[in-house]
Structure 1
Amino acid sequence: MSAQGPSSDTAFRRRLVLTGFAGLAVAGAVSAFEHHAHTHRPRKQPDGQYRKLRLIWANAETAPVLAVAYQKDFFTRYSLDVDTIPSPQNGNEALDALAAGKGEYAVAPALTWLPRLYGGLPASLVLGIQPGAFRLLVRRDANITRLDQLVGRRVAVPDKNAADKFFFAIMMRRKGINAMDGITWTDMPADNVVDAARARTIDALVAHDPLAWQLLNSHADLFSELVGSTTGHYADRTSLVLGAAHTALDADPDAATALTLALRDAAKWANQHRDEAATLVADDTSEVSADTMRAMLRHQPAINPVTGHLLRDQIAQYCDELQLIGLLPDTEAASTIAKRTTRNVLSG
């Protein structure tokens, strides 16, 4: 994906988003899709003003919701011309770019956002876009059938994505396992993981889709999935979250409202049209085939965007869990941290 969006055709369309189309965008925002997709309309509606925004999104080229937002003109419906900043490789890199002022908005996992926000990153979380697809893959010949058998083992973290590691450390902590200290976590480029597993220099790896899905299905003889976030109560929780810099929220709060609505609507559409969303992603990247993306999306949780008090409640749960593994202090209530780090940009 270029800095101008997922494809040249999309970039061209976005160039056509001129002030004269503002009225059409507002009309689109209350189109038949809107009518059927939302039973409760937000109290605050966008003002229809044309805006050009900069969005930072890790691995943006394989993000179905973003592909839908561009190619199905959800950004255009809200009079937005969105430039996606050249793709960071993980959530921390995305937040580094936000802190450096390279964009006004960023998308990263909640587990990556929260330690950074608590540490002083001046931003607020405004939209939970979709649940995570974290997977813990074990080497088939390592004889690992339970989480406690990972203690003392080498577990690879292919893209240095902190959220992958934190998610499974939390899952294990709830079972009384100190994974943060008891496992040898090893940062390792994704290209080296297969060779390392065959050489038995790693016993397992934590990753998220599409990488985890590709490794699991392309090397079924080598890896099996021990646990993941795509089933059970974890599948109902948001993970990928849109945040806005405080400078952007203060200067133009209506811009955050428009972007939140555009991505919310794109997420709902992607969930209802998974096969087509998969095709849109495949059209924009050579990393994942359409068949692979379709199969992957069919095995992922519902893409269910959340805002307002629902987002705040889920963020509070994440805060509580990060406190469990020592990544947030327990001197402050999780609900208080959540209230301070989220904002409802759809309220009147």
Structure 2
Amino acid sequence: MSAQGPSSAPAFRRRIVLTGLAGLAVAGTVGAFEHHRHKRSPRRQPDGQYRKLRLIWPHADTAPVLAVAYQKGFFARYSLDVEGVFTPQNGNDALDALVAGKADYAVAPALTWLPRLYSGLPASLVLGIQPGTFRLLVRRGANITRLDQLVGRTVAVPDKNAADKFFFAIMMRRKGINAMDGIIWTDMPAEQMVDAASARTLDALVAHDPLAWQLLNSHPDLFAELVSSNTGHYADRTSLILGASHTALETDPDAATALTLALRDAAKWANQHRDEAATLVADESPEFSTETMRAMMRHQPAISPVTGHALRDQIAQYCDELQLIGLLPDTEAAADIARRTTRNVLNG
């Protein structure tokens, strides 16, 4: 698998076209799921009109929440026909497409969104979909057992400006380590990492699932996990964020509400039915077996969507951390940046 590009027939390319009463009749699984929803519903509800939306999502074929939203009828429930525009290589590609007007909504990591938003990207963050799944793998034999031992070493990253790198740079900065300048970061395609590690031309790599999980479990004699985002307080924080262009928010705010609710509900369902969600992904990704996807999801944090004040608070924390590593200026309070870059589309 190339971790930089989805399969040729991802679930994301499926489009659900509604007719007549399709918005009123969805799969039984969705109906059953309604019994488990929070008693307190959002104050703002969509108007129920049929809408066709353009959403861009990196690695769409391995996104369990997206697979659930399509295949378990959550988009249909909110009268949405969601079209995947194309399959971007990473979060920055997705945001480039949003700027170019090729999509109305985009999904990317918070650490990718925030520098772009601060620089003027005309969009707002509306839903935290799920936590990150970042892993730092070290080459066995490199004698790296602590984060400070990475200073001066060569660390590969699939995308040099990826959130993977920023996440671990922040983690290390909290421990007094200047990873942005002290590590030899090497941009390397995923398919070259195994050969480079075998040749001892790299000492470690940072990546996120499913690539990181695949490397760790397919080459246990070559890689060991040093740290990850899957435990401790990092596991409770959202990472993958849905954002909406300002044009979309201004012209049809109800569409943003509907999409946010659909993905929020799909995320909750995916968390409660992890094995089935993993199966849905595996069905559309031939390079991953059902057993592999299920094992991976069982070792990932809970899928916990966040909106409103909770999202704003977490974004403020990310802003503070990006200031620590020099990716946001410290001339403005992190809380103010978070307030400016988020919007609560469920608050009517």
* TM superposition score normalised by structure 2: 0.95
User: Are the counterparts in 1 of residues 24 and 77 from structure 2 also a CA contact under 8 Å?
Assistant: no
User: Are the counterparts in 1 of residues 153 and 184 from structure 2 also a CA contact under 8 Å?
Assistant: yes
* Equivalent residue number for residue 334 of structure 2: 334
SS in 2 for 1:38: coil
CA offset digits 1:183-209 (Å, max 9, x no partner): 010000000000000101000000000
* Equivalent residue number for residue 67 of structure 1: 67
2:19 matches 1:18: yes
* Equivalent residue number for residue 45 of structure 2: 45
The code of the aligned residue for 2:309 comes to H
Q: How does 1:176-195 map to 2 (within 5 A)?
A: 176-195=176-195
User: Are the counterparts in 2 of residues 159 and 190 from structure 1 also a CA contact under 8 Å?
Assistant: no
* Equivalent residue number for residue 127 of structure 1: 127
Once residues 114 and 327 of structure 1 are traced to their aligned partners in structure 2, the CA distance between those partners, rounded to angstroms, is: 9
The count of corresponding residues between Structure 1 and Structure 2 is 343
Unaligned runs of 5+ in 2: 1-5
SS in 2 for 1:130: strand
* Equivalent residue number for residue 258 of structure 2: 258
Once residues 257 and 287 of structure 2 are traced to their aligned partners in structure 1, the CA distance between those partners, rounded to angstroms, is: 32
* Equivalent residue number for residue 215 of structure 2: 215
CA offset digits 1:233-257 (Å, max 9, x no partner): 0000000000000000000000000
Once residues 197 and 234 of structure 1 are traced to their aligned partners in structure 2, the CA distance between those partners, rounded to angstroms, is: 27
SS in 1 for 2:11: coil
CA shift in 2, pair 1:261/1:3, >3 Å: farther
User: Are the counterparts in 2 of residues 257 and 345 from structure 1 also a CA contact under 8 Å?
Assistant: yes
Once residues 161 and 84 of structure 2 are traced to their aligned partners in structure 1, the CA distance between those partners, rounded to angstroms, is: 20
SS in 1 for 2:35: helix
Unaligned runs of 5+ in 1: none
* Equivalent residue number for residue 271 of structure 1: 271
Deviation at 1:33, TM superposition (A): 2.0
Once residues 12 and 162 of structure 2 are traced to their aligned partners in structure 1, the CA distance between those partners, rounded to angstroms, is: 29
* Equivalent residue number for residue 289 of structure 2: 289
* Equivalent residue number for residue 6 of structure 1: 11
Q: CA RMSD in A?
A: 1.9
CA shift in 2, pair 1:145/1:116, >3 Å: same
Deviation at 1:21, TM superposition (A): 3.0
The code of the aligned residue for 2:49 comes to Q
- The percentage of counterpart residues that share the same residue type is 79
CA shift in 2, pair 1:299/1:41, >3 Å: same
* TM superposition score normalised by structure 1: 0.95
* Equivalent residue number for residue 157 of structure 2: 157
Once residues 179 and 118 of structure 2 are traced to their aligned partners in structure 1, the CA distance between those partners, rounded to angstroms, is: 22
Once residues 279 and 10 of structure 2 are traced to their aligned partners in structure 1, the CA distance between those partners, rounded to angstroms, is: 16
Decide which moves more: 39-48 or 234-243. 39-48
Decide which moves more: 31-40 or 46-55. 31-40
Once residues 322 and 122 of structure 1 are traced to their aligned partners in structure 2, the CA distance between those partners, rounded to angstroms, is: 20
* Equivalent residue number for residue 83 of structure 1: 83
* Equivalent residue number for residue 36 of structure 1: 36
